């Protein structure tokens, strides 16, 4: 165990002694501040009428569209969901979350997990491939530690980096949110629509849930990049493929959502927040199904990485 801890420490040292690593943290914080400033000063648009009048008008519009019919089932369910949520807000005097507010800003920062994913993919792609390109892999493998432990230390160090970036993202989001926005609405609840009923949830709990569910995509894409890096010994290929799939996978699934088989595609299942925000991309999908598919892909990616790394000849 002590030998593995030293391996893990060594891999972490390799990551954090690079100037590029700290540039990534700096870029993340800079983007957060830019988002805060833009949200605070550019999205501060006056609203015509009270929020109650706005919601009542929206409900009337949604009901009219439902009465007209001739719409997909998913769209119909979304309109019914919005009507129920708006009625609950009006009945219990709970205003919607404004974009230019503390919670509106905090919710928008969840989207910045994609930047954390991008940076972690870069780290994951280089952690194995760079050992081959620099010729240091032979020095690493002559150590008494097994190849499995060496690969595991590299894999875990990558996710330690990801977790640290997520902590920085969350803490700086809180700090910048408190500085730029009015935090008097901090006790405002989040509303959930489930099985025709509306429930209240603590907003911090909902935010943590969104962070966790949104990090699933991070886990899968980083594992994919790690696999490509291990198999092909190319960081550029791993980064290119992972980023291409990361930015196009969900769009491809949306285009093909009318086909039942698309639910077995990885990217139809990585966005688990779809199950708490509304209807799933493909009708009939459930949280349990998506978790099962993600587990299968996760096992396949890691098995390929481990098997090929174990058998790879590095003598040449």
Q: Which residues contact 133 (CB under 8 A, 6 or more apart)?
A: 233, 235
| 30: number of Cβ within 10 Å | 10
pLDDT at 45: 60
What pLDDT band is residue 315 in, cutting at 50, 70 and 90? low
Residue 258 phi, psi dihedral angles, 5° rounding: -75, -15
pLDDT at 316: 46
pLDDT value at 312 more than 80:
no
Q: What is the mean pLDDT of the chain?
A: 86
Separation CA 222–CA 57 (nearest Å): 44
Classified as helix, coil or strand, 202 is coil
What tokens does 198 get? 């509306």
Record the pTM: 0.87
Q: 178-182, 203-207, 246-250, 308-312: which has the highest mean pLDDT?
A: 203-207
262 DSSP assignment: G
Q: What is the pLDDT of residues 214-224, one digit of tens each?
A: 999 999 999 99
pLDDT at 41: 81
Q: What is the pLDDT of residues 107-151, one digit of tens each?
A: 999 999 999 999 999 999 988 887 777 667 666 666 667 878 888
Q: What is the pLDDT of residues 147-192, one digit of tens each?
A: 788 889 999 999 999 999 999 999 999 999 988 887 777 888 998 8
pLDDT at 254: 81
Nearest-CA neighbor of 173 among 112, 113, 109, 111?
109
pLDDT at 17: 92
pLDDT at 148: 84
What pLDDT band is residue 285 in, cutting at 50, 70 and 90? confident
Q: Give the lowest-confidence range in 17-31, 164-178, 205-219, 241-255.
A: 241-255
Separation CA 77–CA 69 (nearest Å): 12
Contact 158, 222 (CB under 8 A): yes
Residue 108 phi, psi dihedral angles, 5° rounding: -70, -30
């Amino acid at each position: 165990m002590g030998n593995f801890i030293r391996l893990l420490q060594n891999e972490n040292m390799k990551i954090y002694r690079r100037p590029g690593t700290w540039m990534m943290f700096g870029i993340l914080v800079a983007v957060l501040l830019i988002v805060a400033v833009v949200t605070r000063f550019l999205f501060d648009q006056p609203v015509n009428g009270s929020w109650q009048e706005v919601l009542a008008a929206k409900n009337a519009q949604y009901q009219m569209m439902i009465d007209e019919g001739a719409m997909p089932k998913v769209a119909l369910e979304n309109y019914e969901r919005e009507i129920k949520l708006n009625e609950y807000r009006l009945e219990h005097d709970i205003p919607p979350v404004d974009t230019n507010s503390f919670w509106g800003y905090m919710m928008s920062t969840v989207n910045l997990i994609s930047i954390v994913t991008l940076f972690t993919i870069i780290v994951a792609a280089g952690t194995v491939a760079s050992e081959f390109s620099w010729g240091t892999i032979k020095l690493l493998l002559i150590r008494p530690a097994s190849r499995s432990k060496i690969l595991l230390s590299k894999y875990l160090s990558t996710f330690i980096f990801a977790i640290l970036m997520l902590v920085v993202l969350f803490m700086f989001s809180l700090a910048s949110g408190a500085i730029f926005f009015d935090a008097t609405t901090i006790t405002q609840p989040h509303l959930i629509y489930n099985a025709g009923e509306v429930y209240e949830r603590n907003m911090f709990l909902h935010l943590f849930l969104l962070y966790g569910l949104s990090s699933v995509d991070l886990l899968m894409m980083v594992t994919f990049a790690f696999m490509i890096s291990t198999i092909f010994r190319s960081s550029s290929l791993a980064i290119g493929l992972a980023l291409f799939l990361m930015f196009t996978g969900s769009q491809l699934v949306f285009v093909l959502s009318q086909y039942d088989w698309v639910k077995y595609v990885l990217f139809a299942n990585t966005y688990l927040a779809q199950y708490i925000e509304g209807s799933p991309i493909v009708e009939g999908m459930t949280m349990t199904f998506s978790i099962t598919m993600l587990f299968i892909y996760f096992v396949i990616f890691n098995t390929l990485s481990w098997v090929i790394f174990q058998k790879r000849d590095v003598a040449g």
